[in-house]
Chains A and B, each alone.
Chain A
Amino acid sequence: MILFALPVALVIIFGYALNNDYKNIPIGVLNQSKDQTSEKLINRIIGSGYFVVEKSLEKPQDIPSAFKLGKIKLVLYFPAHFQKELYHSKKAQIQLIADASDINTAINTTSYLSGIINEFNAENAREINGGIQISTRMIFNQRLLSVYLFIPGVIALILLIISALLTSVTLAREKEMGTLELLSISPISPYMIIIGKVIPYLILSLLNSFVIILLGIFIFGLPMTGSISLLILACFVYTVASLSLGILISTRVETQQAAMFASLVTLMMPTMLLSGFIFPIESLPLPLQVISNIIPATHFIVLIKSIMIKGAGITVIWQPFIILIGMTSLFLFVSIQSLKRNN
């Protein structure tokens, strides 16, 4: 039972908690100009809903202590004579001072703010002499929801860890208690042992994956634009790959504890960080991109996003399928070899 409750609880918590939809970011304002234009711009910034002015600063020397308390993320600094400068020389600087010890927030806040300021400039320009009208189409994710980014990753991570843990620990337990030896002197071939061990977990994990994906669709509003049978096939292929990874681990270790450490320590963090779930794959350095490609979750995330969100057909995504099947065969082949060697 815990094997169903656990993934469901995790997906629900992460589905709500993990997002980068910034709103009400606390910022500080240091306005040494106090003129119409700066007030107008500040109002525009507050009006955007992304920012709240948490603190008004008096002088630049106050900035470090404000940051050290960690309450505000950014200081918007209008130097003295801002407006005069603006109308005199047609350009004036303002400073966006971001607390970059939290880089993501720093980049996102400065990017939002620059966007607002550009928009403000463009409006002023249009009043004078017209501008280019830009229309933007956000493809696949019109409302820019972060669940589209995080839910597929969470699904892939949880399925992999649970499936791999289950099988590796179960087989290692048999080894520890000596029951595997009993099986291996019976006339059953190693293939049959593995298949027999894995099938119950396969069914369990598949059910698990369906439950999680249904949650994604009905609670978090993931779309389901592609073919359902293709999605089921993807889940099946991925689950088998994770289970066979578990088998592989179990053939390499002696005890349950070693199996647990091997599965958790070697799978969890790399899967999280290298599969494209947290960091975009295209910004990884080349050697890590190679590693990223040998992580099953990477390909499953591509599959889920392509099938569910983009509605891609098999002609677009045959590649990840082939890779996952190839990995599974490799894991199983190596496991059977080492089982045979043990006998």
Chain B
Amino acid sequence: MRNIFILVRKEFLQIFRNRQLLPFMTVLPVIQVILLTFAANYEIKNLRLGIWDLDQSTSAQQLIHKFTGAKFFQEKALISNQKKADELLMKDEVDLVLVIPKDFEKALHSSNNPAIQFQINALNNAKAGIVQNYASAITQDFLNEKRGNSTLLASPKIIPITNYWYNPTLNYKTIMLPGIVAEVMTLIIILICALNVVREREIGTIEQLNVTPLKKHEFILGKLIPFWVIGHFIFWAGMTLGKIFFNIPMVGSLGLLELFLAIFLFVPLGIGLFISTAVETQQQALFTSFFFIILFILMCGLFTPVETMPDWAQYINQLNPLKYFVEVNRLILLKGSGLKEIYPFIAKMIIYGIGINLLAIWRFKKTN
């Protein structure tokens, strides 16, 4: 126990002595989290509308009004030919071109069905789908009003009322902040843990430690504990600032979150340690860590949905610690889930943590 304490003290001294590295593992990540959270916004508004009105009638005007009056659309350009429409779409200056063909009004008042066309810039497929839905709904509204004026026979209409639970204002920041904190923390923990041991090996100081009466598990715990503390610092500093800046909701128990965090941290630590036992140089450690970190971050379900991944990817993703963290953040912070719901996640993290660390220790023995 005493040995571990001394080693921990030595590690902390080294960490604080390194003035150039210290900010990169403490202050900068926290600042980054806050800054990046401001970016968290997929909100689709101010869609730029191009209007190509071939009919120039009152009804066409009314339809256009209906579009420009809706809060999502703003009129950007009047278009008079397809070449112009293509050019604006190419330069990404409009999102939607509304084409009203000749005789639109005539068809509207006769028994013919009038036709209109949407030309949507679909580079971003999700956005294109939403644009299409907005535009169709507006057109339907327009028609209902028109018909409502001319005939008394309105058609029955189902009105969907949308309720967004746990996050009624659809504020992305509430869930992005804890997620980004977890990501940045994991990134840094894996990296420092992997680099630290390799560096000791590269400069030969690990040999010195090997000839001391220090036991293997004492050595490893002595290495892990300081980084475990740094992980806590990054997480809670990020969360505190998040509470101050974005007032992120914390419905559930923070003690439960801390319990999960305390166990969770051994997973990235173990992964870092394992990488350090599998490589020779700091550069190799770096590229291997990079590989895992970027996989974990992009596949954790914060930015793109986990459910839409193909089965094999979901299978691999079971090994992604961040996936669990993002899920637990949602459950505890937004939905207020308790130990009963979180229990399976904690159990998985305990198994994962023990497994990866044992693997690392086993490899470690072999390499020495």
A residues whose Cβ falls under 8 Å from a Cβ of B: 2-3, 6, 9-10, 13-14, 16-23, 25, 37, 41, 63, 67-70, 86-87, 90-108, 110-115, 117-122, 124-142, 144-146, 148-150, 157-158, 161, 165, 169, 173, 253-258, 260-262, 264-266, 268-270, 272-274, 278-280, 282-285, 287-288, 305-306, 309-310, 312, 316
Contacts and interface: CB of A to CB of B under 8 A. Distances in A.
Contacts of B112: 130
Contacts, number: 356
A310 B124 CA distance: 13
A135 B191 CA distance: 52
Given A118-B140, A283-B44, A129 B155 contact: yes
A87 B156 contact: yes
A106 B170 contact: yes
B159 A91 contact: yes
Interface of B: 20-21, 24-25, 28-29, 32, 35-36, 38-46, 89-91, 108, 111-130, 132-133, 135-137, 139-140, 142-144, 147, 151, 153-168, 170, 172, 175, 180, 183-184, 187-188, 191, 195, 199, 282-284, 286-287, 290-291, 293-295, 297-299, 301, 303-305, 307-310, 313, 316-317, 327, 330-331, 334-335, 337, 341
Contacts of A121: 140, 155, 157-158
B124 A149 contact: yes
A99 B166 contact: yes
B139 A146 contact: no
Contacts of B90: 306, 310, 312, 316
A305 B308 contact: no
B156 A90 contact: yes
B129 A111 contact: yes
Contacts of B122: 138-142, 144, 148
A122 B140 contact: yes
Contact of B120 (A129, A139, A274): A139
A20 B304 CA distance: 6
A135 B36 CA distance: 39
A169 B163 contact: no
Nearest to B141: A118
Given A18-B309, A92-B156, A256-B282, 15 more contacts: A6-B290, A9-B291, A68-B337, A70-B330, A92-B158, A100-B168, A128-B155, A144-B129, A269-B36, A273-B40, A279-B41, A283-B41, A283-B43, A310-B90, A310-B123
Nearest to A104: B305
A293 to B, nearest CB: 13
B165 A274 contact: no
A93 B158 CA distance: 6
B164 to A, nearest CB: 4
A161 B287 CA distance: 10
B188 A265 contact: yes
20 contacts: A14-B299, A17-B313, A86-B156, A95-B160, A99-B166, A103-B175, A110-B164, A125-B157, A134-B115, A141-B125, A142-B122, A149-B126, A254-B20, A260-B286, A269-B184, A273-B180, A280-B42, A283-B44, A284-B39, A309-B123
A134 B291 CA distance: 46
A117 B334 CA distance: 29
Given A10-B295, A67-B335, A132-B115, A146 B184 contact: no
Nearest to B169: A100
B136 A118 contact: yes
A18 B164 contact: no
A114 B137 contact: yes
Nearest to B104: A132
A169 B283 contact: yes
B133 A137 contact: no
Main secondary structure of the interface of A (DSSP, over half): helix
A11 to B, nearest CB: 11
Contact of B162 (A96, A256, A279): A96
B348 to A, nearest CB: 14
A224 to B, nearest CB: 15
B143 A132 contact: yes
Contacts of B163: 95-98
B139 A265 contact: no
B151 A129 contact: yes
Contact of B160 (A94, A274, A279): A94
Contacts of A17: 298-299, 309-310, 313, 317
A91 B20 contact: no
A10 B133 contact: no
Contacts of B298: 14, 17-18, 272
B111 to A, nearest CB: 7
Contacts of B147: 125, 129
B161 A93 contact: yes
Contacts of B35: 270, 288
Contacts of B297: 268-269, 272
Contacts of A134: 115-118, 135-136, 139
A119 B137 CA distance: 9
B342 to A, nearest CB: 10
A252 to B, nearest CB: 9
Given A23-B308, A139-B89, A101 B335 contact: yes
A132 B113 contact: yes
B99 to A, nearest CB: 9
A92 B156 CA distance: 8
A261 B139 contact: no
A257 B195 contact: yes
A270 B44 CA distance: 21
Contacts of A110: 160, 162, 164
Given A114-B137, A253-B20, A94 B157 contact: no
B290 A165 contact: yes
A323 B136 CA distance: 39
B88 to A, nearest CB: 10
A108 B162 CA distance: 12
B145 to A, nearest CB: 12
Nearest to A153: B298
A130 B109 CA distance: 11
A41 B158 CA distance: 10
A135 B119 CA distance: 9
